Structure 1
Amino acid sequence: MATVRKDGSAITFDYTIPLVIIGGGACGLVAGLAARSLGIDAAVLERDATPRGSTFMSSGFVPASGTRFQRAAGVEDSPAIMAHDIQGKNHQEADPAIVKRLAEASGEVIEWLADEHAIPFELVEGFLYPGHSRMRMHCTPRRTGEELMSCLLNAAEQAELPVLTEAAVTTLHVDDDDRICGLSYKRPDGAEEQLGCEALILACNGFGGNPELLERFIPHMKDALYFGHEGNLGEAVLWGEALGANLRDMGSYQGHGSLAWPHQTLISWAVMMQGGVQLNRDGQRFSNEHGGYSEQAAKVLEQPEGIAFNIFDKRIHDDALKFEDYRNAFNAGAVKTFDSLEELAEGLGMPLQNLQDTFREINTLQESGDSDRFGRSFAPELQLQAPPYHVIRVTGALFHTQGGLEISPEGQVLNLEGKPLPNLYAAGGAARGVSGAGDSGYMSGNGLLSAVVMGAIAGRTASAAVSKASQ
């Protein structure tokens, strides 16, 4: 139960540490690393036995501009271009000051993590994700969030950043001025301990695992398959509300329209961006597959039985094998192969005539260069080649929420009047992101951009405040 008590001035805490961070995902770990780099004693409290969070379930891609990894690949990018892309995708609905701050800090944070903490970043090349005008996705070699988390945990160990697991924070203790004095957390045996602090960072992600909050803020997705971390119960929202914090963009979320079903393995949207298509059970396309994988979740769920089929050729299949999630799906039997449209129609139970009409339309559009009724064009270099065709049955899912506590560009939590709360900071899924108000504003990597880059910013801001207070 996430509660706030105004008893902070009366409590004698078991221990006190300058900076406490709630949440041991990428956001919390990066915030802690930022604090340690500035010489601040910090501790991360994580509810689970092993820190995982939403990062663990992601592809682990972090967008950043102006990095040496981009320059080495001949990619010309800048914070201004990146900010323009983000705001274009979210329909100018995000806070431009936060977008600007994230874009400007992104390259430096990626290089800092690589240089100081040995995170083996590399640039994802070969295609652009929806909304991005430049290749700017940075990932670890295996291209998984699991690997990124492993690298960050190793960095935390090297930096001597304490990560206390199986510590479920239940209560924030504040004084009469709403200054955080400390918190209570429960251990697996039910024992409760109190920890004092001078500053607190909420890095405990969103509320996708809380049915009541989904019903309140995103009712149309409350019955969707939730493919996020089960621990995303919205404590940050509940604590923030109790403290008078402002909430923004609470209807914003990241969905995904390509979750292998029933295998429940994420299929990279690179399959679509390199020329693949999605068909429903009637053998017909139903959307612009290049519009974005977040908004595609709702479109897939609108199809018969909430099912669609990713269809692509050997060229795309071979390239997708670079992604560990795809290899896992392939090894699990999620990828089916058919040597002709006739076999495909029979194997999937689709009307052959509809299937032939769909492919005939695609070929015509590729030859003419025209856009289809959904607004998608079919570039010749991305033309689907001759069979065999590879097929994956997929569904749409809710991955994580993008709304949360309103923050300043430096990660300070703001109240209803837009003023910072005394010593409370937030980043990642706990805070308002840069995806606008709904599902269509999510641009690939927005979640980890807010987690990793704003995590570093909040860690530095809180550390500076702690340092100043001790002088």
Structure 2
Amino acid sequence: MPDPTLIPVKASSIDTWSYESDVLVAGFGIAGATAAIEAARAGADVLVLERLGGAGGAAAMSGGFIYLGGGTPLQNALGFDDSAENMKAFMKAALGPGVDDAKIDAYCDGSVDHFNWLIDAGVVFDESFWGEPGWEPPHSEGLMYSGGENSAPFNKVIPPAPRGHLPRKSASDDGEQAGGYMLMKPLIETAEALGARTLYDSRVQALVIDENNRVVGLTVRQYGVSIAIKARRGVVLATGSFAYDDTMLRDHAPRIEGRPAASIESHDGRAILMSQAIGAATAHMDATEVAIFCDPQLMARGILVNGRGQRYINEDTYPGRIAQETLLHQGGDAFLIIDELLYEKALQTESTSAIMRGTPKWVCESVEELENEIGLPKGSLQSTVELFNHHAASGSDPVFSKKSEWLTPITTPIAAYDLRGMTGGFTLGGLKTTVDAEVLHVSGEPIPGLFAAGRCTSGVCAGGYASGASLGDSSFFGRRAGKRAAAR
């Protein structure tokens, strides 16, 4: 059914404004918090709307990685050389196709400054490095490879550097005090200390426009009542992705329909739809991050095969790349093949995803038997294992260039994990914005008074992903949105 509340409201039709502010921010996750901070520092009166009963959004429940580089103080302290140019080269190679070069250039050139800005806001990063495969460090290590920078095909052409910066966890192992929580806590406190006001349990409905089609406010549903809130300078949309709107997923990113991950139910795409209602452009609406629910310590040691019994990726790369390749290009069919010795070695390692280890579905005495048990084409797995073992014995992988440290011939007993259906993700596409977070009309011109950041926009990721890119570009362009809105 059509939703009439999405249709823009004329300011002339509003009799009473329930609240007013210079800058009105919709969403109190990381994009909204950083926008509020910068707008307040620019002297604006800031009001933040949050649909839920508390601040933090999906960012507060995430692992907390922020993708930063170019020679941050943490990289330098731990002995890793990086440059803005190398960071740009990697991001443009790994996050496409079709990346916004201007956004990546701005992001990489400003990365060290953004790191220092986070430090000044109270975010703490431990001066330690975690170099094992995994989704995130098991302790409070502050730096990790988080995008496959040190694996093929990137490590052959771009000097690798770890760029996954993780805020220090609290002393407790409670998930609410993990990296994402410890990232958002000081940002929320900073915004509030600067005078940003907050209205919770407030769901945005539509944009309010004046006679010149400038955005001057929002209509909001609060405790069952619709109200209007005026923005004297600008509106910043920071309400998250559309991972929980099945209609939008079916239209744009059907492969992750019914399998949301790393997102929350308030990620319903509302900001995108109500902006489209006034002519806003969108980009990369089909782009998705994908996670695969298997411990990277296992995957790095084994081989991944598709429904034809063939390898399809280097298993030592970023698990998000493995997941995207599995779901988007292999139809979601994946089996992890591993022998007893490699399985036992993986179980002895530390991992935050040890819960994803479980036990293999099939255990057999021969590759032929395992092939039959899985139901793979006759001879397919046997030839795959034979080819892999032939080259692994000499420490090479001419097919996918897996690093030699993970190349061990697969022996028997042999086992397989069934990874079919073991993926989930969130959307990366959204409103098309400038490097200053201005929302663009389909004509290519900025829509006056409207700004956006975070997962309701198309940021630095156009297809590929690296852990931390979402919180990174959400916070970086959230800052720009707040500054720009305050300056209007």
TM-score by length of 2: 0.78
Cα contact 1:31–1:456 (8 A) shared by 2: yes
State the Cα distance separating 1:87 from its structure 2 match.
0.8
1:18 and 2:22 matched: yes
Cα contact 1:22–1:44 (8 A) shared by 2: yes
State the Cα distance separating 1:73 from its structure 2 match.
0.8
Which stretch of the first structure deviates more once superposed, 278-287 or 101-110?
Answer: 278-287
For the residues of structure 2 that align with 1:304 and 1:80, how far apart are their CA atoms? 35
Amino acid at match of 2:431: L
State the secondary structure of the residue aligned to 2:470. Answer: helix
Amino acid at match of 1:196: K
Cα contact 2:242–2:267 (8 A) shared by 1: yes
1:134 and 2:166 matched: no
Aligned pairs for 1:105-120 within 5 A: 105-120=110-125
Structure 1 residues 69 and 291, CA gap change in structure 2 (3 angstroms): closer
Amino acid at match of 2:94: K
For the residues of structure 2 that align with 1:50 and 1:391, how far apart are their CA atoms? 43
Which stretch of the first structure deviates more once superposed, 178-187 or 295-304?
Answer: 295-304
Amino acid at match of 2:98: E
Structure 1 residues 296 and 379, CA gap change in structure 2 (3 angstroms): closer
Cα contact 1:405–1:430 (8 A) shared by 2: yes
Cα contact 1:156–1:162 (8 A) shared by 2: no
Match of 1:225 among 237, 246, 259: 259
State the Cα distance separating 1:405 from its structure 2 match.
1.2
Structure 1 residues 251 and 337, CA gap change in structure 2 (3 angstroms): closer
Cα contact 1:225–1:396 (8 A) shared by 2: no
For the residues of structure 2 that align with 1:305 and 1:90, how far apart are their CA atoms? 21
For the residues of structure 1 that align with 2:332 and 2:402, how far apart are their CA atoms? 28
For the residues of structure 1 that align with 2:179 and 2:188, how far apart are their CA atoms? 12
1:450 and 2:473 matched: yes
For the residues of structure 2 that align with 1:390 and 1:458, how far apart are their CA atoms? 51
State the Cα distance separating 1:74 from its structure 2 match.
0.9
Structure 1 residues 97 and 341, CA gap change in structure 2 (3 angstroms): same
State the secondary structure of the residue aligned to 2:276. Answer: helix
Cα contact 2:314–2:402 (8 A) shared by 1: no
Structure 1 unaligned spans of 5+: 261-266, 466-471
Identity across aligned pairs (percent)?
A: 25
State the Cα distance separating 1:415 from its structure 2 match.
1.4
Match of 1:96 among 80, 97, 101: 101
For the residues of structure 2 that align with 1:35 and 1:211, how far apart are their CA atoms? 34
State the Cα distance separating 1:117 from its structure 2 match.
2.2
1:421 and 2:419 matched: no
The aligned counterpart of 1:49 is: 53
For the residues of structure 2 that align with 1:300 and 1:386, how far apart are their CA atoms? 22
State the Cα distance separating 1:149 from its structure 2 match.
3.8
| CA distances 1:36-75 after superposition (whole Å, capped 9, x unpaired) | 3444332322212244544345432111112100000111
The aligned counterpart of 1:69 is: 74
The aligned counterpart of 2:135 is: none
Match of 1:300 among 309, 315, 326: 326
Amino acid at match of 1:412: E
State the secondary structure of the residue aligned to 2:64. Answer: coil
State the Cα distance separating 1:450 from its structure 2 match.
1.8
Cα contact 1:336–1:391 (8 A) shared by 2: no
The aligned counterpart of 1:247 is: 282
1:85 and 2:112 matched: no
Structure 1 residues 117 and 310, CA gap change in structure 2 (3 angstroms): farther
Aligned pairs for 1:29-428 within 5 A: 29-56=33-60, 58-65=62-69, 66-91=71-96, 93-120=98-125, 124-126=129-131, 128-132=145-149, 133-142=160-169, 147-151=178-182, 152-160=184-192, 161-187=196-222, 189-197=223-231, 198-219=233-254, 221=255, 223=257, 225-227=259-261, 228-256=263-291, 258-259=292-293, 267=295, 269=296, 272=299, 274-279=300-305, 285-289=311-315, 293-294=319-320, 296-297=322-323, 299-301=325-327, 306=333, 308-309=335-336, 311=338, 313=343, 316-321=346-351, 323=352, 326-327=353-354, 329=355, 334-336=357-359, 342=365, 350=374, 361-372=387-398, 375-384=399-408, 394=419, 395-428=421-454
Which stretch of the first structure deviates more once superposed, 171-180 or 281-290?
Answer: 281-290
For the residues of structure 1 that align with 2:257 and 2:47, how far apart are their CA atoms? 36
| CA distances 1:139-184 after superposition (whole Å, capped 9, x unpaired) | 1234979634423134313542444322111122111222222112
Structure 2 unaligned spans of 5+: 133-144, 150-159
Cα contact 1:433–1:450 (8 A) shared by 2: yes
The aligned counterpart of 2:459 is: 433
| CA distances 1:415-458 after superposition (whole Å, capped 9, x unpaired) | 1232211111111111112223xx4x333432222212222222
For the residues of structure 1 that align with 2:43 and 2:126, how far apart are their CA atoms? 25
RMSD, aligned α-carbons: 3.7
For the residues of structure 2 that align with 1:336 and 1:259, how far apart are their CA atoms? 13
For the residues of structure 1 that align with 2:331 and 2:264, how far apart are their CA atoms? 27
Number of residue equivalences? 442
For the residues of structure 2 that align with 1:129 and 1:70, how far apart are their CA atoms? 14
Cα contact 2:385–2:410 (8 A) shared by 1: no
State the secondary structure of the residue aligned to 2:293. Answer: strand
Amino acid at match of 2:40: R
Amino acid at match of 1:134: A
State the Cα distance separating 1:27 from its structure 2 match.
1.7
| CA distances 1:346-376 after superposition (whole Å, capped 9, x unpaired) | 8x9558998776555444323334435xx42
State the Cα distance separating 1:136 from its structure 2 match.
0.9
